[in-house]
Amino acid sequence: MADLPESCDVLIVGGGPAGLAAAARLKRLGVGAVHLLERESETGGIPRHCAHSPYGLREFGRLMSGPAFARRLTAATVAAGAYLHRQATVTALHPGGRVSLTTPEGVAEVTARAVLLATGVRETPRAPRLVGGTRPGGVLNTGALQGLVHLDGLKPFDRPLIVGTEPVAFSALLTCRQAGMRPVAMVEPAARITARAPFRAVPLALGVPVWLGTALVAIHGTERVEAVTLAAGGTCREVSVDGVVFTGGFRPENALLRASHLAVDPGTRGPQVDQYGRCSDPAYFAAGNLLRAVETAGWCWAEGRAVGRAIVAHLAGRLPPREAAQAVTVEGAGLAWVLPQRIAPPGGPPAALPRLQVRAAKVFDGDLLLGGRRHRLVARPERRMTFDLPGFGETAIRLQPR
């Protein structure tokens, strides 16, 4: 591992699929000194914890497990000539691309011509979910579960309850079964699962019931989880379990952003960016799930490559001025967020974020009006929806119920 320099061409914060893909792309496009910082002891991000398939088909032309995918991404980045620095934790982002960090050797500062933020997401833990009861051991989120099982070879419980039905919940279910655990059930407060319908086949095949319209209201136990209280249809019941896995409720890992000078979007909770992934300070870019929660590893990989290409254009002075970008405005209610939040003037290279990404705040049936165009829209929260980017000067969005 190379020593950290005082300055470099590009500094990447985060060693998941987006950061690794961007680093490799930057080197292959001829950028000189590219340094990547990862706070954990290994690079690879979330896939490193997921021992199941499918990973790697789009990126490497073959199906892989998550750890194999993470190793392949890391090897490709090293082969391209980027420098990886593990156990390097960024502590502050300063104007103009100056970054403070700590390493096992001490504190340091690096100034880069461009900084890419790719710190990913985290799941919502128990406390913000306002679940009552006691505080026993055996309450985990998916990442902690997968780390204990796949990295440490442990079996944290036998009969847990899985809370949530986003795609990651089904990953937690597979992790449990691979380790010899049999979940009592999956619970979801809504009337339908959050993931798309084909995911419903996973618990069905494994014999695990899915209780819809059911909320977890309390956890009971002393040293370990012993039972939970579930509410459904206006009544409560107690169910015996020995663990609880909270899944999903993803939010960008934005602690650095909130303490920095960079503008944060209140909808996505990630940085405000234009179609090149460029932040409010044009020395900073962002890619991957820091932009919004949550997309797949493959999506983040492709996004990292695309933003890497935009950084090359930035280094060559070929991007239109960031200060001239127009805000994408949402008129009325109905959308939780839009991405990108700003559109830079025309005349630059192809957009790194070539589609407008939106999420609905609630179930919606109607039309989306965007830049003089009308799009039929039947939407549910947490579902991916993309549209052509609005033109410069046509950046207003409005939902019109039918």
Average pLDDT, the chain: 94
- The CATH class for the domain spanning 127-246 reads alpha beta
Contact 241, 140 (CB under 8 A): no
CA 88 from centroid of its chain's CA atoms: 20
Q: Which 8-state DSSP code applies to residue 202?
A: H
Residue 385 has pLDDT above 60, yes or no: yes
Single-letter code of the amino acid located at 223: E
pLDDT tens track for 264-314: 999 999 999 999 999 999 999 999 999 998 899 999 999 999 999 999 999
Q: What percentage of the chain carries pLDDT values higher than 90?
A: 80
- Specify the pLDDT at position 312: 98
CA distances from 46 to 104, 155, 266 (A): 23, 19, 24
Cα 401 to chain centroid, rounded: 30
What digits encode the pLDDT tens for the residues 156-169? 999 999 999 998 99
As a whole number of angstroms, the distance between CA 244 and CA 33 comes to: 45
Range(s) of the chain covered by CATH 3.50.50.60: 1-123+250-319, 127-246
Express each pLDDT in 115-137 by its tens digit.
999 999 999 989 999 999 999 99
Please name the fold of domain 1-123+250-319: FAD/NAD(P)-binding domain (3.50.50)
Query: Hunting for tokens 């459904």 — which residue is that?
Result: 232
- 3-state SS, residue 391: coil
CA distance 124 to 239: 23
Tokens of 116: 């890419």
pLDDT tens sequence across 201-231:
999 999 999 999 999 999 999 999 999 999 9
Query: Helix, strand, or coil here: 323?
Result: helix
Model pTM score: 0.92
Going by pLDDT thresholds of 50, 70 and 90, the confidence category of residue 332 is: confident
353 neighbors 272 (Cβ within 8 angstroms): no
- The residues pairing with 67 across neighbouring beta strands, listed in sequence order, are none
d(CA 350, CA 343): 12
